[in-house]
Amino acid sequence: MSKSGALPNPLAWIGRGAIALFAEIGRLIIYSGQVMFSALTPPWNLTQIGKQMVAIGFFSLPVVGLSAVFIGAALALNIYTGGNRFGAEQFVPNIVVLGITRELGATITGLMLAGRVTAGIAAEIGAMKVTEQIDALKTLSANPFRYLYAPRFLAACITLPMLVLVADIIGVMGGWLVSVYGLDFDSTTYIRNTMDFLTMEDVAVGLIKAVVFGAVIAIMGCYQGSKSSAGATGVGRAATLSMVGAAVLVLAANYIMSTLFVNIGL
Amino acid sequence: MTQPILELKDVEKSFGSNHVLRGVNIDVAPGNSLVVLGGSGSGKSVMLKNALGLMSPDSGRILFDGEDVTHDQGKEREAMRARIGMLFQSGALFDSLTVWENVAFRLLNAEKMKRAEAKDRAIATLKKVRLGASVADLRPAEISGGMQKRVALARAIITEPDLIFFDEPTTGLDPITADAINDLIIEQVKALGAASISITHDMASARKIADEIAMLYEGEIIWRGPADQIDNSGNDHVDQFVHGRADGPIQPAL
């Protein structure tokens, strides 16, 4: 702030913001590197990885399944309405399966887990930080990167593709439900068209995205949690920031990867 | 003179413009119990975190058993921590683990002990702090604050350390429970023959557990002497603190 009561210099204000932003990005990159190094080198804490796979993967099944069925259903309905305008409604099964496997299965799973898992991790790690449990881990010779962050990272990277596979199947089923029971498609033809149009490449694209989303989700949760400030406000803020950050990064990474996959012909 | 187990030499630490430690010099001899007094915001916790290696000092040195550990990382740092126990102010028990897993945490993780054996050790250590085997399978959230402190004490002593830190061991406890914790601290530290550094602003606790008392004020040790000299320190700051007066050279942190 300026001393004489004059208006603050807007350039200084923008400059400070930019420097703070780059510093934050730098810290996040260094932190991500440390998490990945701990995750990819032994020793691995298999007990913690197992626990986190259940917490992150298994308990996300209901929310992922429900989201996928509704997205698949809405997608089918919209494609039908759009296709109807130029007599292309028979392409509903093809576009549903393509849209779900390449794009929506992974994105919806990533977004739902950015809410459920990232905020949960940030709140848990944040609470551990403010109650000195992270310091306690260090004094007991347990490295928080190996004991807390790497297991969450690995569990998210392993379970996200599994969840996306489930979302793909249930999402396509959501489209089938609406088409057969709402739009008078023939069930057998719909399924045959879906299976004919389904390719391993499209599914693989979604699964590769899922691994990256898993990394984003776990790292954002751990990062914001581990720099959470004291008190209920600090932990709440960490949870909010992590969730928003993870959701935006999931969408940004999705776009970047989609561009990349299209360019390499996948 | 015997070599101190821990020695802080001219340790300084700032956070931005806040100069918390302004050259702390203190040492503790093996088997000795040192209590560091200080008001809120005097830098007690920061001093402790520097000594433990949870923070690095901006300047100055920290010697553990004669070795310079100021900037140790990895294996050297672990070797030091394996010989140190720490009782955190809030207990800092891991709430996702049971009581016995908390107590045996170092044995299970750093030392890779078999679970059955580690549980036996944990239950034996819980007995030393007057807790029965029945609490072993409970979660920290299911036991009282006084019991949590005992569990945290058990976790600090299970590996028979040479040096134990106590961060405000009696804070948040009623006077009777606090006294029981003081008794346990004295008993267990003596039984181990360990040195201890306690930071507190609880005078009753300080008088009871200290062999020596030091006073930290504005980031420096301003007085140090045998515990029985605390009432004749000849230092205005110490007198004001010992008698808990708002008037005097120390301004209340309001």
**In terms of DSSP bridges, do strands B18-28 and B67-68 run parallel, antiparallel, or are they unpaired?**
unpaired
Looking at the predicted structure, is the pLDDT value of residue B234 above 90?
Answer: no
Report pLDDT for B72: 86
Does the beta-carbon distance from B94 to A141 stay under 8 Å?
no
Give CA torsion, residues B13, B15, B18, B21, to 10 deg. -20
pTM of the predicted model, to two decimals? 0.88
Does the beta-carbon distance from B106 to A147 stay under 8 Å?
no
Q: What is the mean pLDDT of residues B170-186?
A: 89
Report pLDDT for B232: 86
C-alpha distance from residue B208 to each of B35, B48, B178, B204, B212 (Å)? 10, 20, 11, 6, 11
- Which are the contacts of B91, defined by CB distance < 8 A and separation ≥ 6? B140, B145, B148, B149, B151, B152
Report pLDDT for A28: 95
Looking at the predicted structure, is the pLDDT value of residue B66 above 60?
Answer: yes
Alpha helices (runs of H) in A183-230, residue ranges in sequence order: 187-197, 200-226
Find the helix or strand (DSSP H, E) in which A184 lies: none
Mutate to test the interface with B, among A141, A143, A152, A229 (most CBs of B within 10 A): A141
Given pLDDT bands bounded at 50, 70 and 90, which one contains residue B253?
low
Which of A136, A141, A142 lies at the smallest CB-CB distance from B88? A136
Report pLDDT for A2: 44
Given pLDDT bands bounded at 50, 70 and 90, which one contains residue A10?
confident
Supply the angle between the helices A61-84 and A150-182 in degrees, to the nearest 10: 40
| Rounded CA Rg of chain A | 22
Nearest CA to B141 out of B89, B94, B103, B100 is that of B94
Looking at the predicted structure, is the pLDDT value of residue A5 above 70?
Answer: no
Does the beta-carbon distance from B78 to A131 stay under 8 Å?
no
Nearest CA to A39 out of A140, A135, A194, A158 is that of A158
ipTM over 0.85: yes
3-state secondary structure of B204: helix
Residues of chain A in contact with residue B89, where contact means CB-CB under 8 angstroms, are 132
Report pLDDT for A229: 85
Going from N- to C-terminal start, the domains of chain A cover 57-263
**Between residues A156 and B244, which one has the greater pLDDT?**
A156
Residues of chain B in contact with residue A235, where contact means CB-CB under 8 angstroms, are none
Model confidence pLDDT, tens digit, residues A183-223: 999 999 999 999 999 999 999 999 999 999 999 999 999 99
DSSP state of A42: S
For residue B242, the tally of other CB atoms under 10 A from its CB is: 18
- C-alpha A29/C-alpha B159 separation (Å) is 37
- Which are the contacts of A45, defined by CB distance < 8 A and separation ≥ 6? A146, A147, A150, A151
Does the beta-carbon distance from A141 to B52 stay under 8 Å?
no
In this structure, of A1-5, A172-176, B35-39, B117-121, the range with the lowest mean pLDDT score is A1-5
